[in-house]
Amino acid sequence: MELSEDAKYRLCYLALRLAFDRKLSAGNADACPGMLALLDVIAGTQLAGEAGGRRYASQREKIESFIDAEFGEDVLDVVNRAVAELA
């Protein structure tokens, strides 16, 4: 599959979001202030300042749906394998 430069960046962004989601969903989000701060920048959220003891709300299904719709199931499988290897 040949991807445009914009599509490559979008896929990398979504893959990074999935990796962060996996890490933040697995435990205490307060233990990852750098991830929360970066998510605030790239996703336009305000998680870092509001995390105080609250559980992170997973966005995995939504992100996977975006990847599947834009790039297909084969690319989603590759992304999920890569994210699993990062864990």
Q: What is the pLDDT of residue 50?
A: 65
Burial of 13 (0-12, 13-18, 19+ CB in 10 A): middle
Q: What is the pLDDT of residue 68?
A: 97
Query: Which of 28 and 86 is assigned the larger pLDDT?
Result: 86
Q: What is the pLDDT of residue 39?
A: 86
Tell me the mean pLDDT in the region 13-36: 89
Tell me what percent of the residues of the chain surpass a pLDDT of 90: 56
